[in-house]
Amino acid sequence: MRTPSASTARAGALTADDWAVRGLEILTTEGPRAVTIARLCRDLNVTKGSFYWHFADLEALKGSIAQLWCAQNRQQLTELAALNELPAHERLRAMTAGLIDDGAWALQRTLREWSRTDERVAGAVADSDQFVFELVQDAISELGADPRQARTRAGLLVYAGIGFAHGQTALPKPTMEDVDDLIAWLTEGS
CATH code, domain carrying 21: 1.10.10.60
**Confidence check: pLDDT of 2 > 60:** no
| pLDDT range class, residue 58, cuts 50, 70, 90 | very high
For residues 138 and 98, state if they share a domain.
yes
For residues 171 and 112, state if they share a domain.
yes
For residues 65 and 100, state if they share a domain.
no
**140: nearest Cα among 159, 155, 154, 160:** 154
- CA torsion sign for 8, 14, 20, 26 is negative
**Domain contains 92:** yes
pTM of the shown model:
0.72
**Domain contains 138:** yes
**Confidence check: pLDDT of 102 > 70:** no
For residues 97 and 189, state if they share a domain.
yes
Domain, as residue range, for 186: 86-190
Q: How many separate domains does the chain show? A: 2
pLDDT digits (tens, 9 = 90+) for 16-36: 999 999 999 998 888 888 999
| pLDDT range class, residue 9, cuts 50, 70, 90 | very low
